[in-house]
Amino acid sequence: MKLSRKLCLRGWRCEEGGAAIEFILIFPIFLAIFAAIIAFGLGFFVQQTMTLAAEEGARAAIAVDPATLGGVEAAAYHDAIRTQAQAFITANLTGLPTGLRSGITTPTPTLTPITDSSGAVVGQTLTVFVQYANFDDNPVIQPLTSIFPLVLVSALVVPDNLAAQAVVQLF
């Protein structure tokens, strides 16, 4: 007879199966923490990608030179700026998986005149905005937040919306 069996028969505590019980108690907590890390990481990744796309779109708009457009009127120049910014935003968002990219909207970049104290227009600002509405309803994020609803409701807070904005000054 094994020594552990003899000790168990003599009144010592039997610890057979203790590891399985500890595993059953700890595993749900570990899984909830792991799901929270994945959900937070995905949100952070999407936010950073959107910020980069907005910045790159604004930066690309600076590169539009009115002299290369052949002396066109201001409306055509503004359209060229918006088109260039929009193209760079779209190109930078292609790095996201399709499931995460589906909810992102990129409204048309806006141009706002800058005036001096006399009211004369001295330049313009271009505002590029990228938004992810209803991020918490995303089909990639939602299963992670519903693995353990009772545990994750209080521990995991996923933002409803994500947004990124970049502003550049044009002359």
In a domain, 32, yes or no: yes
Q: At which residue do the structure tokens 């088109």 appear?
A: 83
Residue of 131, 138, 127 lying closest to 161 (CA atoms): 131
Strand partners, 166: 128
CA geometry: angle at 49 spanning 47 and 52, to 5°? 110
Domain limits for position 160: 21-170
- pLDDT value of position 165: 92
How much is the pLDDT for 79? 85
Q: Is residue 6, in this structure, part of any structural domain at all? A: no
pLDDT of 109 over the 80 cut: yes
Quick check: 171 pLDDT over 80? no
Q: What gap in Å lies between CA 20 and CA 103, rounded to an integer?
A: 43
- 55 closest CA partner among 85, 80, 35, 10: 85
- Distances 18 to 2, 22, 24, 28, 94 between C-alpha atoms, Å: 18, 6, 10, 17, 50
In a domain, 1, yes or no: no
Q: Number of folded domains in the chain?
A: 1
What is the pLDDT averaged over residues 126-134?
88
Among 30-34, 57-61, 157-161, top mean pLDDT goes to 57-61
Does residue 123 fall inside a structural domain?
A: yes
Residues 19, 24, 30: CA angle, nearest 5 degrees: 110
**Is residue 153 domain-resident?**
yes
In a domain, 12, yes or no: no
Q: Is residue 2, in this structure, part of any structural domain at all?
A: no
Q: How confident is the model at residue 12, as a pLDDT?
A: 56
> Tell me, what's the pLDDT at 3?
52
Summary mean pLDDT of the chain: 78
What would the pLDDT profile of 47-95 be if each residue is shown by its tens digit? 899 999 999 988 888 888 776 666 667 778 888 888 888 889 889 888 8
Q: How far apart are CA 22 and CA 125, in angstroms?
A: 60
